Amino acid sequence: MRESLESQIPDTAAYTEWLAIVCSIVVAALFCAVLFSNGALT
Q: What is the pLDDT of residues 7-33, one digit of tens each?
A: 666 676 788 899 999 999 999 999 999
Average the pLDDT over 33-42 and give the result. Answer: 76
DSSP state letter for 27: H
Cβ neighbours of residue 1 closer than 8 Å, sequence gap 6 or more: none
What global pTM score does this model have? 0.58
Confidence bin at 1 (pLDDT 50/70/90)? very low
How far apart, in whole angstroms, are the C-alpha atoms of residue 42 and residue 39? 5
Higher pLDDT pick, 8 / 4: 8
Higher pLDDT pick, 3 / 20: 20
